[in-house]
Amino acid sequence: MILKGKVVLITGAGRGIGRAIALECSAEGAKVVLLDRLGSELEETSRQISAMGGEPLAVTCDIASADNVSHAVSLARSTFGFIEVLVNNAGIQPPIGAFAEADMDQWKRNIEINLIGTVLMTREIVVDMVARKKGKIISLAGGGATSARPNFSAYAVSKTAIVRLTETLAAELKEYNIDVNAISPGAVNTKMLDEVLLAGTLAGNEAIDAEKRRDVGGDDPRLAAELVSFLASDKSDGITGKLISAKWDPWREASFQTRLRSDADFATLRRIDDKYFEKREA
């Protein structure tokens, strides 16, 4: 149980990847704080963890609200004490469609939840981590962070910003033994897939890919959950400032972990001209 006794706070824990992460962390011995905007879904995640013998604390929270975030973290501290691991998983996908036709209120709301929500939650918790000189921060990225994603401009921009925030905080917090990483969870069939299907032609080519995934199934969310569990554990100490793919990167291999620790440019966002990194075959 590589997380035994650790306190892990997970945003967006009501369903999908967030629920898978919560279940995995609890199975590995963590005390889990579950945050989500939807209380009914949060209750189901909490129920499943309790049935496993875990110790969940479920708090309804809109991470785009500074007051909500402050209240949730205060409640977590009073219940479990120091929060050793933060998992920024909560996020939304709309608006879907051409940028020139996008609803700007929806566009701003996407940034408020995906980016500002992550910033607010991290800022609230990192103060304690700095004081104790220890901590792990893990944020979910992907979805346009490493390449263009037409018709999903707000989502792609917010997730790219999260990766750059990850790299910046990793450098800033390294002296305090706080590891900060981002992960790409893969093409998991969640509510976001339903949103793409509903958008139809507004989603462009992704609508066709979504139909295929609906029929054959997406990536297993446990891949992302297991990577989060590893990054939350002491086994990942010294790995920081990286964007790691749950599906494509061989993160379980010692040689890959060594390169993550030793190669400053590896698994990061960089402009690379006349320089090539190794590429793994699909």
Catalytic residue among 80, 152, 155, 251: 155
pLDDT value of position 221? 84
Total domains present in the chain? 1
Q: What are phi and psi of 147, to 5 degrees?
A: -160, 165
pLDDT value of position 37? 92
Q: Which residues of the chain have pLDDT under 50?
A: 282
Q: Is the distance from CB of 141 to CB of 187 less than 8 angstroms? A: no
pLDDT value of position 114? 96
What count of Cα atoms within 13 Å lies in the side-chain half-sphere of residue 206?
21
Residue 87 domain-assigned (yes or no): yes
Residue 45 domain-assigned (yes or no): yes
Query: Tokens 């939840």 map to which residue?
Result: 113
Q: What are phi and psi of 201, to 5 degrees?
A: -65, -20
Report how far apart the first and last C-alpha atoms of the chain are (Å, whole number). Answer: 31
pLDDT value of position 96? 86
Helix (H) or strand (E) holding 237: none
Helix (H) or strand (E) holding 9: strand 7-11
Residue 164 domain-assigned (yes or no): yes
Task: Tell me the helices (H) and strands (E) count for the chain, helix number first.
Answer: 10, 7
CATH number at residue 50: 3.40.50.720
pLDDT value of position 213? 63
pLDDT value of position 149? 85
Q: Is the distance from CB of 211 to CB of 189 less than 8 angstroms? A: no
pLDDT digits (tens, 9 = 90+) for 91-106: 999 998 999 999 999 9
DSSP class of residue 60 equals E
The domain of 103 spans 7-186+221-262
3-state secondary structure of 57: strand
pLDDT value of position 191? 67
Query: Tokens 């001209």 map to which residue?
Result: 273
Residue 36 domain-assigned (yes or no): yes
155 in active site = yes
pLDDT digits (tens, 9 = 90+) for 106-122: 999 999 999 999 999 99
Residue 249 domain-assigned (yes or no): yes
Residue 207 domain-assigned (yes or no): no
Residue 277 domain-assigned (yes or no): no
Q: Quote the strand ranges of 101-158, DSSP E.
A: 135-140
pLDDT value of position 143? 73
Pairing between strand 85-88 and 56-60? unpaired
